[in-house]
Amino acid sequence: MEKLIITAAICGAEVTKEQNPAVPYTVEEIVREAQSAVQAGAAIIHLHVREDDGTPTQSKARFKECMDAIYKVCPDVIIIPSTGGAVGMTAEERLQPTELFPEMATLDCGTCNFGDDVFENTMPMMRAFGKRMLENNIKPEYECFEMGHLDTVLNMARKGQVPGAPMQFNFVLGVPGCTPATVQNLCWLVNSIPSGSTWTATGIGRNAFTLAAPTIVMGGHVRVGFEDNLYLEKGVLAKSNGELVAKVVRMAKELGRDIATSEEARKILNLKPRN
């Protein structure tokens, strides 16, 4: 079985310091959390950025500042900037980090409920995102929150509207209002992706580690981090993203799976070596 790629989603757009004081807002805090995750075993940083007061932003300048600062302390890490942004942002707002020509970026695969909110990803928006990634030679990580999202993006790939094989999927399960984080649902999704694809699973909240375990055994890759879950275990807030990553590393070792470095992750994901 190939080595396990661990992604750390270090801050997200919605979680706050009121929920966990370690949630990063400033550039310095974002670098601190990225470094803690990489030192613990993460090969990838999934990146949202915030203003210093915690307001989510998709500012190209803020992304560049944060990415440059992360690369100074973690020069080999893969950074996947989010084009999801925050609920209510326009497509053009959300696309700003693609102007930095990252090696990868997320592409959300359909509209869905996010608790009481609606996360809008219309077909015209998705075609615009796909076009930008094709033009800028960016490999998407296809974010699927619902089971129908997978069929949608596979149809788009067949039409050449988004980058095709080899594809990387992230199955985000357990968002309130979306597909539940069950092994049955994960198996259905994994069994439906094209041969040669790679995949990651993200369990939201209490599902973070209960979904990580079957993912490790099934040969997939794992995402954890403050964006998705703030707790190390029930009632115990994680002190850093590194603690969450370290728990996945321990699980993987118990299950006989080695951890991929960023260089190894690039080979698994069919990325070019970073200059």
* Per-residue confidence (pLDDT) for residue 115, from 0 to 100: 81
* Per-residue confidence (pLDDT) for residue 32, from 0 to 100: 98
* Per-residue confidence (pLDDT) for residue 215, from 0 to 100: 98
* Per-residue confidence (pLDDT) for residue 25, from 0 to 100: 98
Specify whether the CB–CB gap between 189 and 150 falls below 8 A.
yes
* Per-residue confidence (pLDDT) for residue 1, from 0 to 100: 86
Query: Rounded to an integer, what distance in angstroms lies between the CA atom of residue 184 and that of residue 67?
Result: 37
Per-residue pLDDT of 162-193, as tens digits, reads: 999 999 999 999 999 999 999 999 999 999 99
* Per-residue confidence (pLDDT) for residue 33, from 0 to 100: 98
Query: Rounded to an integer, what distance in angstroms lies between the CA atom of residue 193 and that of residue 190?
Result: 6
This prediction has a pTM of 0.97
Strand duo 168-173 + 198-203: pairing: parallel
Residues in CB range of 160: below 8 A, 6 or more apart: none
- Looking at residue 204, its amino acid is I
* Per-residue confidence (pLDDT) for residue 101, from 0 to 100: 97
* Per-residue confidence (pLDDT) for residue 275, from 0 to 100: 64
Q: Which domains does the chain have, with CATH numbers?
A: 6-268 (3.20.20.70)
Residues of the chain with pLDDT under 50: none
